[in-house]
A and B are shown apart, each in its own frame.
Chain A
Amino acid sequence: MSEIIKIVIDGKEIEATKGQTILQAAVNNGIYIPTLCAFDGIKPKASCRLCTVKVNGRAMTACTTPATEGMEIENNTAGINEIRKAIIEAIFVEGNHFCPSCEKSGNCELQALGYRFMMMVPRFPYSFPQRPIDATNPKLLLDTNRCILCLRCVRGLKDENGKSLFAIKHRGVHAEIVMDHEVCANISDEMAQKAMNTCPVGVIIKKEKGFDEAIGTRKFDKQPIGHEIENKFNQGGN
């Protein structure tokens, strides 16, 4: 039987199951903690740092830190949100994000976070990097201009032998995502769709199907990011 423990987020006591991360516990209780690199079903690797919370005064990432009995967690505070906003801005200036021409616009988690955190103009100068586009695969387009190196694709997409479809090359500012052309050569339609869905932004795009959902009617056009979690307990008309 799973053990129930109690933790406190922003002064509110909630229940969690032992073994859950702070993020899972929060989501289950309708509390939104912003995330970018976390994805259901993929082992977390805290790289975006957006889910940073303070646990007993120390900065920790909610997506990787197990909830333990009596934890005091700060989440939605001015100080933490300011750092989160700065991170979102930093991600925007690092790459080339021209939302109006991007297939992922409206379904993009980064764009949605920009809105949620009311980013107007980033505090940092744009770096306008030169990044490659790989269109050699018959089913997938890889436009690394928009890559935020969340590594969801690297961690989450493997073939039946455990080989990676995507990997990260180099390190630091030189890091880039590449596709394994052998492994991806005969990729199925389902896998291509899964790859596109795994990417939070518009890097991995399934070919031959564009803009079939009109801009303005997409996921985050209807509701800001995080509302599905915050509205968890308000649905069903009560």
Chain B
Amino acid sequence: MNSQLEKIIKKYDSDKFRLMDILIDIQAEFGFISKEATHDVAKELNMAVVDVEQTLTFYHFFTQKSTGKNTVYLNDSAVACMMGREEIKKAFEEAAGCKFGENSADGLIGLYNTACIGMNDQEPAAIINGKVFTKLTPAVAQQIVSGLKAGKNVQDLYHQELGDGKNAAAEVKSMVRNNIRRRGQVILNDFTPGVALKTKLSSMQPKDVIDEVKKSNIRGRGGAGFPTGLKWDFCSRSTGEKRYVLCNADEGEPGTFKDRVLLTERPEMLFEGMAIGGYAVGADQGILYLRYEYKYLETYLEKVLEDARKDNRLGKNIGGVNGFDFDIRIQFGAGAYVCGEETALIESGEGKRGEPRDKPPFPVEKGYLNMPTVINNVETFCAVVKIIENGGNWYKQMGTEESSGTKLLSISGDCAQPGVYEIEWGMTISQMLEMVGASNVQAVQVSGPSGQIIGPKDFDRKICYGDLATGGSMIVVDKTRDMLKDIVLNFMEFFIEESCGSCTTCRIVPKLMKDRLVKILNGKGVMKDIADLEDWAKILPVSRCGLGQTAANPIATSIKNFRELYEAKVQKDVDYDCGFDMNKAVQASCAFVDRVPNAH
């Protein structure tokens, strides 16, 4: 066996629960995961080769072939396209001499697409050899390619200065910008690490912590909105030899990027929140599940962890509280939106395919390695720190009756000031649009593709759990956009690519719906197609997880709120059109015999 490979497998004790880490390291070391490497891993871990392949082939960033000496992953989310992705794509292709999905003939450059990389406020953006490039232009794309071909280091090809705040830190050195546009009273307010851990917990029992969190009424910020105090309470009451605290930093919902900003500017706060969670439920181990797209933050986050250990905010007897031990490790994903679903995240963390589990049992009963586990979003953990510092009552005064506190919004699309805003719950969409400098607005995509697309008649509605609930992704779409093509179609393609494929419903139906949408966009649609789409959408809610349950939302909510766009595109005088284009179908064979297709 290759000695490098042997070292990697040893590093993780040939533990099959660490298969993700092993594969990540192999991919990084060799640029791809060869057949031989797969066989060697299987042998060392005592698994069938297909068992290794089932994990390996699940993730976007694991490849079985080289992706070029230099690899460009260009974001293809809807907002990237709105901000001019097509031109950038062409420029890359011209400069590299190959198409997206291929490597250049000399193997120097590989061009690949990737789903939203969490940079919607600075698109078009790409990850090139692990470094993030934002606000690309065609000229810049060409410079990058010629630089890479000339053997330059990717960091020497930066076309912008380093970003603000910690983006410029020695361990990050990234051009990414925070774009923090509004600081509220909780998370983006001033923060001193360790206050909660060192001055509050010594006089609080774990149960008091849970009670304080309950009192604040905070609900999970990852989207589902489950009451955090209740979740911690359940976990602390479940039986198990060991407990775990997991942080969900998968941030895969297109259009959200606020966790990236927290990971950059508030990692001390996040780790403190996880430690508080550990204290509350009786866990001594935490895992930060971090999306692969944010790997550029790895060195920096490891340093923050190290500093926290030195400062007794992690480690043994934290804050001088006897027996309060807690430490955190970082677990990377490898490119799969569904791994943001909490049970898929656990599976992935255990080295498997990111397929969601059936619930019940819930993670609080049987989570990571089947032990009671708390999983919360980055923002939730951050907010808890302030709740412990200032009390649940203080927190509850902000926001509305049923939605307490503040919320970070990631706002992007057609607006003057895209970025992160910490608002109090209860703001209306109109107020939000004014805040971000948006005019001529056609629609707002609330909560990403899995949410809903709403029009002006709903702009008086409030952002809160009782009305427009959101994990924070807000995309503004102005009147110049072709909504069905630019937004709805892109989102359907996203769900199709990201489905784990376990459920029949989620694996099959979104594709059928997308094909029907394309038929309508091609001018071949009839009124019945709209009715079919509405009917088919009703099948998806019986899927196992939120991905499938919401995968019809781009089409279903756009039909509901913008039916006229569909009706304008279908043929009114035709009842039936199978969508088949004879002339197109025989194009290739006609060309072969030198004829022009002329079927009627």
Binding site for B on A (CB under 8 A): 44-50, 52, 59, 61, 64-66, 83, 86-87, 90-91, 93-94, 123-125, 127, 148-149, 151, 159, 161, 163-175, 178-180, 182-183
Contacts and interface: CB of A to CB of B under 8 A. Distances in A.
B236 to A, nearest CB: 22
A66 B54 contact: no
B503 interface: yes
Contacts of B509: 90
B499 A167 contact: no
Nearest to B499: A172
26 contacts: A59-B541, A61-B358, A66-B360, A83-B542, A86-B539, A91-B508, A94-B508, A125-B515, A149-B502, A163-B46, A163-B47, A164-B50, A167-B50, A167-B53, A167-B54, A168-B501, A169-B57, A170-B501, A171-B58, A171-B500, A172-B497, A173-B499, A179-B50, A180-B48, A180-B50, A182-B48
B48 A49 contact: no
Given A47-B504, A164-B48, A172-B497, A83 B57 contact: no
Given A167-B54, A173-B496, A180-B49, A45 B502 contact: yes
Contacts of A151: 502
Contacts, number: 123
Given A47-B504, A164-B51, A182-B48, A90 B499 contact: no
A90 B496 CA distance: 15
A170 B539 contact: no
Contacts of A127: 511-512
- 6 smallest CB-CB distances across A and B, nearest first, come from A167-B50, A163-B48, A175-B501, A172-B499, A64-B358, A180-B50
A170 B496 CA distance: 13
A223 B58 CA distance: 40
A46 B544 CA distance: 8
B532 interface: yes
Contacts of B544: 46-47, 49, 61
A47 B48 contact: no
Contacts of A159: 48
A90 B508 contact: yes
B505 interface: yes
Contacts of B48: 159, 163-165, 167, 180, 182-183
Most A CB contacts (10 A, CB to CB) among B336, B504, B509, B543 go to B504
B543 A49 contact: yes
Contacts of A163: 46-48, 51
A74 to B, nearest CB: 13
Contact of B54 (A83, A86, A169, A173): A169
Contact of A178 (B50, B503, B507, B541): B50
Nearest to A170: B57
B35 to A, nearest CB: 12
Contacts of B532: 123
B500 A91 contact: no
A45 B358 contact: yes
A47 B502 contact: yes
Nearest to B548: A49
B539 A83 contact: yes
Nearest to A124: B512
A46 B358 contact: yes
A46 B355 CA distance: 11
B500 A166 contact: no
Contacts of A46: 358, 503, 544
Given A87-B504, A167-B53, A172 B512 contact: no
Contacts of A91: 504, 508
Contacts of A86: 536, 539
A170 to B, nearest CB: 5
A179 B500 CA distance: 20
A49 B50 contact: no
A86 B542 CA distance: 12
B505 A172 contact: no
Nearest to B56: A169
Nearest to B357: A45
B23 to A, nearest CB: 14
Contacts of A94: 504, 507-508
B266 interface: no
B360 A65 contact: yes
B501 A49 contact: no
B46 A161 contact: yes
B538 interface: yes
Contacts of A93: 508, 512
A173 B510 CA distance: 10
B50 A166 contact: yes
B407 interface: no
B325 interface: no
Contact of A167 (B51, B507, B511): B51
Given A47-B502, A173-B499, A182-B48, 8 more contacts: A49-B543, A59-B542, A83-B538, A161-B46, A163-B48, A167-B50, A168-B501, A170-B58
